[in-house]
Structure 1
Amino acid sequence: MNDCLRGRRRRSLLSLLASLLLFPTVAQPAAAQAPAAPPPPVTVAKPIVREIVEDDEFIGRFEAVDEVSIRARVGGYLETVHFRDGALVKVGDPLFTIDQRPFQFALEQAQSQLAVSETSLTFAESQYRRAEELSQSGNIPVSTVDDRRREFLAAQASHEGAKTAVASAQLDLEYTEITAPIAGRIDRRLVSTGNLVQADQTILTSIVSLDPIDFYFDIDEREFLAYARDATERGGNLQEGAGGLPVVVHLPDGGTDAISGELNFAENRIDRETGTMRVRARFPNPDLTVLPGLFGRVNVPGSLPHQGVLVPDEAIGADQDRRIVYVVGEDNTVSAKPVRTGPRLYGYRVVRSGLTGEETIVVNGLMRVRPNIKVDPRPETLPPERVAEGAQ
């Protein structure tokens, strides 16, 4: 019976080994018969090649062309405020009046002193003329004539001082009427009626001009050198505005149309601490909506006109710290080409290096693509400009 059991076990083991040996032979043809995956479909196109001027973008802030802090030139109690807070004012518009009574009294006193000095001068002059006549006949000594002449000259000087005192008192009285030195929008009143105003110290309010308005931004050393060379080629100078180089500024809301202006100034040195230079552009502001202190993004032409290569943003991928574009070869094999990108123009991204414009690139379906695979290209033609996507 034991021999029978051993025989059965041996036959079972032999059957199992035969099955294991036959399984790869049977399974391999089945796997070989599985169909290969088709090439993924992607949209391809030629890049746009056209004449462009590359823009560099900077963040900056608007500042008033003219700004004045209004102070009184004479001290006294504030009597009247003539403007409405936040109103537009013109040059010469009355703003404040300081109590004029002390200055009016001072003027009248100075005028009285002037009248006294005029009388003294007239008397001294007559005494001097009479002494000269008597001296010629020998009736009085020459020393007396000298005394009369000295008194006459002193009366003249006193009279000039009295006239100066009247002019000074008149000027102080005029200074009690404070008017707008520039045109623009006035701030709120900082001092209420009845308060004491200190001459040349108390700030009463401020005025900023609004049209035109300046925009300040900083550029680094490399950008300065590039702009300076371009300005020289244009026949201008960066410090004087690069010959009125046109620039465009965009406001933070994104919904306002871009404002066009011109560069008109750059500082005469690079800041040693920051390595930057401050540049100024001037913009018209006829509707007075742009205010000093507002941030904006300014686009400055960063090159002379040249033939540029433009691709859609969605055609640009990332490979760690570099940008790549997938190029489709003649055999439909994909390769990744590193590119250096620039600003957005006409709804596309500028490719500064890496493409010539003759390549066929993947513009849609990047998630299905990797290097060295074959694809099913679906060609399309890119429009010259994509305004709807925010061309700049």
Structure 2
Amino acid sequence: MHRTPSLRYNVLTMVVVGAFLSSACSGDKSQPAGPGAGQGAPAVTVVSVRTEAVPLTSELPGRTAPYLIAELRPQVGGIVKQRLFTEGSEVKAGQVLYQIDPATYQAAYDSAKANLARAEANVHAARLKAERYAQLVGIEAVSRQANDDAAAELKQVQAEVASAKAAVDKAKIDLEFTRVNSPISGRIGRSTVTPGALVTANQAAALATVQKLDPIYVDVTQSSAELLKLRRDLADGRLKRVGGDAVPVSLVLEDGSLYGSEGKLEFSEITVDQGTGSVTLRAVFPNPKGDLLPGMYVRARLSQGVNSDAILVPHAALSRDARGNATVMVVNGESKVESRIVTTGQSQGDAWVVTQGLSAGDRVIVEGLQKVRPGAAVQAEEAGAAGSPATAAAAAPAAAAAK
């Protein structure tokens, strides 16, 4: 019997389709039927938070200032004859720095001493006369008027002696002022005058400035609101004072390095700056090598108290929502994920200090956040446990090396 080509084509097509359907039905039944089928709850790593004592440290901006500062100004006028120091060097208290021409002041001093000698000579003659008249008036050899005049003359010349002594002291002081001495020990800056310059008493421009830099002050500013909150927390017992009255202070320099010596807080200003709303705090630091110079910008770290019930949360566990609130993911008692809004304080190492939103014992997710959402069931492994992802990741290189 002769078959047409179209009939042979239809039979072949039916055979191929039947073979395909049979293969599909007899395939590997271990493969999942769809995405996610047969998968369990995702594994996450958690940290059980606990309360612990954490020091409250504030980092405040500030600038260095000299411990002592003295601007040198002449107290008598004249020509500068000598400058007796090297600019930028260390000077001692009482060291002569400038010499003003003393000629006129020496002459005035000598003249005052001569006037004093003349007045003292007049006192000797007046005293002898007064003593004689006092004897003669008793026998009425001189009148009482003459005796009174002699006594008054003695007092007058005695007053002249006192005036002459004051003039000598004044002339001596002026003569000594021709030597401009350093009132403090410290480092002297540049000189604004040279020998031959004319200076006047109490002029506005300083001849030079001496600054004591060891120790040195650091003036920092803190907002009055922060200072008020700190005092309230200390008063309510939420914070405990550390170090007694001597608050330790560390210093971060302009290049980010930590200054080698620790200072202490001296006092806080009693007036709030009306322009900035801040209070100035002054700390003192040793500066034996002169590394700190006046006017340097620094950051001071002050230990202002200890929070004995602080909760620390790793940086990796905290994120921000669309409104900017700090949030963490917590695994509750039903092994489901909850989103918590928390309030954070300062950063302590690699963790945030959480002041509100968490309690001791809460399990915070630190790894696997990208795999979970609020309300989802998870398999929680404590960080550091043998089966946790962090531990498995750490053990993988060692296992590969053993093979």
Provide the TM-score with structure 2 as the length reference. 0.75
| Partner of residue 14, structure 1 | none
| Partner of residue 151, structure 1 | 153
Task: In structure 2, give the amino acid aligned to 1:147.
Answer: D
Task: In structure 2, give the amino acid aligned to 1:222.
Answer: A
Say whether 1:228 aligns with 2:231: yes
Partner SS, residue 337 of structure 1: strand
| Partner of residue 312, structure 1 | 314
C-alpha distance 265-141 of structure 1, shift in aligned 2 (>3 A): same
C-alpha distance 361-194 of structure 1, shift in aligned 2 (>3 A): same
Preserved CA contact (<8 Å) 2:345 2:352: yes
1: CA distance between counterparts of 2:235 and 2:362? 35
C-alpha distance 365-249 of structure 1, shift in aligned 2 (>3 A): farther
Q: Counterparts of 1:316-355 in structure 2 under 5 Å?
A: 316-319=318-321, 320-329=323-332, 333-355=336-358
| Partner of residue 73, structure 1 | 75
Contiguous gaps of at least 5 residues in structure 1: 1-31, 383-392
| Partner of residue 360, structure 1 | 363
1: CA distance between counterparts of 2:148 and 2:210? 59
| Partner of residue 130, structure 1 | 132
Task: In structure 1, give the amino acid aligned to 2:166.
Answer: T
Query: 1:41-66 CA deviation, whole Å, 9 max, x = no partner?
Result: 76544447532122222222222232
Partner SS, residue 243 of structure 1: coil
Partner SS, residue 194 of structure 2: coil
C-alpha distance 108-224 of structure 1, shift in aligned 2 (>3 A): same
Q: Counterparts of 1:133-212 in structure 2 under 5 Å?
A: 133-201=135-203, 202-212=205-215
Preserved CA contact (<8 Å) 1:48 1:311: no
1: CA distance between counterparts of 2:347 and 2:209? 40
| Partner of residue 14, structure 2 | none
1: CA distance between counterparts of 2:49 and 2:234? 30
| Partner of residue 394, structure 2 | none
Query: 1:26-47 CA deviation, whole Å, 9 max, x = no partner?
Result: xxxxxx9442397877654444
| Offset of residue 109 of structure 1 | 1.0
Match among 257, 260, 263 for residue 261 of structure 1: 263
Query: 1:107-160 CA deviation, whole Å, 9 max, x = no partner?
Result: 111111112112222222222223333333433322222222222211111111
| Partner of residue 397, structure 2 | none
| Offset of residue 167 of structure 1 | 0.9
Task: In structure 2, give the amino acid aligned to 1:68.
Answer: A
| Partner of residue 284, structure 1 | 286
Task: In structure 2, give the amino acid aligned to 1:279.
Answer: L
| Offset of residue 302 of structure 1 | 4.2
Q: Counterparts of 1:46-125 in structure 2 under 5 Å?
A: 46-47=48-49, 49-125=51-127
| Offset of residue 96 of structure 1 | 1.6
1: CA distance between counterparts of 2:234 and 2:87? 44
2: CA distance between counterparts of 1:187 and 1:34? 83
Query: 1:326-368 CA deviation, whole Å, 9 max, x = no partner?
Result: 3345676544322212222244221222222433334356566
Query: 1:51-82 CA deviation, whole Å, 9 max, x = no partner?
Result: 21222222222222322211122222222222
2: CA distance between counterparts of 1:48 and 1:323? 19
1: CA distance between counterparts of 2:186 and 2:105? 30
Task: In structure 2, give the amino acid aligned to 1:265.
Answer: F
Partner SS, residue 306 of structure 2: coil
2: CA distance between counterparts of 1:220 and 1:205? 36
2: CA distance between counterparts of 1:311 and 1:207? 51
Match among 205, 212, 220 for residue 217 of structure 1: 220
Contiguous gaps of at least 5 residues in structure 2: 1-31, 386-403
Preserved CA contact (<8 Å) 2:248 2:265: yes
Task: In structure 1, give the amino acid aligned to 2:128.
Answer: S
| Partner of residue 15, structure 1 | none
| Partner of residue 22, structure 1 | none
Preserved CA contact (<8 Å) 1:85 1:187: yes
Query: 1:244-296 CA deviation, whole Å, 9 max, x = no partner?
Result: 22233322221234642222212334445544332222222233212222222
| Offset of residue 164 of structure 1 | 0.9
Preserved CA contact (<8 Å) 2:251 2:258: no
Match among 273, 292, 295 for residue 293 of structure 1: 295
Partner SS, residue 207 of structure 2: strand
2: CA distance between counterparts of 1:101 and 1:42? 92
Task: In structure 2, give the amino acid aligned to 1:51.
Answer: A
1: CA distance between counterparts of 2:175 and 2:236? 57
Partner SS, residue 191 of structure 1: coil
1: CA distance between counterparts of 2:202 and 2:236? 49
Preserved CA contact (<8 Å) 1:265 1:281: yes
Partner SS, residue 54 of structure 1: strand
Preserved CA contact (<8 Å) 2:50 2:360: yes
Q: Calculate percent identity across the aligned residue pairs.
A: 32
2: CA distance between counterparts of 1:138 and 1:184? 73
Task: In structure 2, give the amino acid aligned to 1:64.
Answer: P
Aligned residues: 346
RMSD: 3.2
Partner SS, residue 193 of structure 2: coil
| Partner of residue 395, structure 2 | none
